[in-house]
Chains A and B, each alone.
Chain A
Amino acid sequence: MVNPLHVSRFTFHVLRFTFHFSRFTFHVSRTVEPKIRFQNVSYYYGDRPALRDVTLDIPPNAITVVFGPAGGGKTTLLRLINRLNDEVEGTRMTGRVLLDGQDVYAPGVDVPRLRRRVGMVFALPLPLPGTVRENVLYGPKLAGVRDRARLEEILERSLRLAALWDEVKDRLDDPASRLSGGQQQRLCIARSLALEPEVLLLDEPTSGLDPISTGKVEEALQQLKHQYTIVIVPHSVQQAARVADYAAFFLMGELVECQPGRDLFTTPRDRRTEDYITGRFG
């Protein structure tokens, strides 16, 4: 019999070890103005609170991981940034969400334009009906890009950024549904990148993928963070630890703590965080 506690203790030390090496990267972006700020945000579905008085700064050009057990408000948090929850009936919000210092819920905000600045990738690969090319160019075409050469350029650039170009360059006019799951998810990333967003939100982007595809997506994210602000809900604590520059731990709608990733995963300040990352619950 293997003692599960020993196993999780072991994981914990591996994490500590990993983070020792990535320490160097943090200080670069630390003093910069936050890209996204949540100020005392509470959010309710009917009477059920999904977020409770959340105040959180998300720095630019880094990967911020938002993690915690299910039902903690992570998806809601993401969808508040690009206002994708606008269509949900019977919700209520207090507090402010700022993007570059501008309140995204201020009256007169151009929501489609906001969503072009803030791209989103969903938990399951959701290619739109149509070809690879049509998927990537859906957003730019709606935004009014007509020039053929420009569209081709966007197509190649986005697919390269998502580390998919080499695999699909000869299949651009195949139905997107014929790609493998991992390819489809990178296609969804490329589709978001085609709009040249400033922020990329990823909601458990690898939950439906095998480890190899997951590795490819994570690799792509490491490249992308130099140009984009990335907020990701990981599908496991291990993934959270692997990709986090900053990590925010959510429990039942409450932000328990937010620290640079290596700090949070090695010396969590809150007992609940420690219990969760060492696998005592969740």
Chain B
Amino acid sequence: MMNRHLVQRLGFILLGVISLIVVLPILFVVGNIVVQGLGAINWEFLTAMPRHGMKEGGIFPAIVGTLLLVLGTAVVAIPVGIGGAIYLAEYARDTLWTRLLRLAIINLAGVPSVVYGLFGLGLFVLFLQFGTSVLAGSLTLAIMTLPVIISTAEEALRAVPGEFRLVSASLGGTRWQGIRHIVLPQALPGIITGVILGLLRAAGETAPILFTAAAFYLPRIPRSLLEPTMALPYHLYVISTQVPGMPPRVQYGTALVLLTIVLSMNAVAAIIRSYFRRRREW
């Protein structure tokens, strides 16, 4: 008897240590960036143009650029992604074709982001002649984001009990009416979570915008969608590796701003999830 309790206790300790190993690096990274970057954050840093070879001034255009790219990505990826998920979950029959489609989506989610960057360069920048621009960058990020949105949204739709569809049909609802009035509202929290996770990835990626949207140094807000823009991840890469003599304070400050944007999106997703989970009625 004692022996079994001892084994259980040892097991708990082991699992606790493993959890700690998982959590520690995250805490360390975030803590390090906060501690070293907090000193750089002030009103000027957030709202001014960069000066003196980006060593002074602010990172305003990079912040705006990242928000613009995320917005552009959302405008393209949300309707297409949710539409695709509805097709796959609600309409598509289980055929060879839809299986291939699902396989393709799963594989797309695993493609390295730099490959999306090259694809965007080839298709949007050169072939469609959008140039290095917010438009080309948004489209590239949207394509990268789509698999995430489609697969999470499809899963959320499938999680809605089939009986609801049956009840709706038995009350004279068409298939679309059932989806529109019952299934979609129930799946919404899951879909929103997927969308935010997808956009979060878009906000943080450097490689896809490297060749398609990002400007090395452009101290103003883009005037049209066909202009390039500065963006936080790329700006961070530039000031960390391409500019000698950059004060670490600025580097950490930039990292902190990017981290804050991404983590707050994550927090919004979590809040939405828990809010809807409490309201769910099945």
Contact = CB atoms under 8 A, between A and B. Distances in A.
Interface of A: 82, 84, 87, 89, 112-113, 115-116, 119-120, 122, 124, 126-130, 138-139, 142-143, 175-177, 191-192, 195
Given A138-B181, A175-B281, A177-B281, A126 B163 contact: yes
A195 B172 contact: yes
A129 B93 contact: no
Given A89-B93, A126-B164, A142-B177, A115 B169 contact: yes
Interface string B148-179: 00000000000000011011111111100100
Nearest to A194: B171
Contacts of B282: 129, 177
A142 B171 contact: yes
A84 B172 contact: no
B171 A126 contact: no
Contacts of B172: 112-113, 115-116, 139, 142-143, 195
A124 B177 CA distance: 22
If over half of B's interface residues share one DSSP class (helix, strand or loop), that class is named, otherwise mixed; here it is helix
B169 A126 contact: no
Interface string B163-201: 110111111111001000110011000000000000000
B158 to A, nearest CB: 15
A129 B163 contact: no
B173 A142 contact: yes
Contact of B168 (A122, A127, A138): A138
Nearest to A175: B281
Nearest to A121: B170
Contacts of A87: 169
B167 A122 contact: yes
Contact of B170 (A82, A129, A177): A82
B164 A128 contact: yes
Contacts of A115: 169-172
A124 B167 CA distance: 11
A51 B249 CA distance: 78
A191 B168 CA distance: 11
A177 B161 CA distance: 15
Contacts of B280: 129
B164 A84 contact: no
Contacts of B93: 89
A176 B282 CA distance: 11
Contacts of A126: 163-164, 166-167
Interface of B: 93-94, 163-164, 166-174, 177, 181-182, 185-186, 280-282
A42 to B, nearest CB: 23
Contacts of B173: 112, 138-139, 142
A122 B169 contact: no
Contacts of A192: 170-171
Most-contacted residue by chain A among B167, B171, B185 (CB, 10 A): B171
A139 B171 contact: yes
A155 to B, nearest CB: 15
A168 B46 CA distance: 57
Contacts of A113: 172
A120 B170 contact: yes
Contacts of B168: 128, 138
Nearest to B280: A129
A183 to B, nearest CB: 15
A119 to B, nearest CB: 7
A119 B172 CA distance: 9
Contacts of B177: 142
A20 B172 CA distance: 40
Contact of A129 (B94, B171, B186): B186
A143 B168 CA distance: 12
A195 B93 CA distance: 31
Nearest to A117: B172
Contacts of A82: 170
25 contacts: A82-B170, A87-B169, A89-B93, A112-B173, A113-B172, A115-B172, A116-B171, A120-B170, A122-B167, A122-B170, A126-B163, A126-B166, A129-B182, A129-B185, A129-B281, A130-B281, A138-B168, A138-B171, A139-B172, A142-B173, A143-B172, A177-B281, A192-B171, A195-B171, A195-B172
B170 A119 contact: yes
B239 to A, nearest CB: 50
Nearest to A120: B170
The 7 closest A-B pairs by CB, nearest first: A139-B171, A116-B172, A120-B170, A177-B281, A112-B172, A115-B172, A129-B281
A11 B111 CA distance: 69
Given A128-B168, A177-B282, 17 more contacts: A84-B166, A84-B169, A87-B169, A112-B173, A113-B172, A115-B171, A115-B172, A122-B167, A127-B281, A129-B164, A129-B182, A130-B281, A175-B281, A176-B281, A192-B170, A192-B171, A195-B172
B167 to A, nearest CB: 5
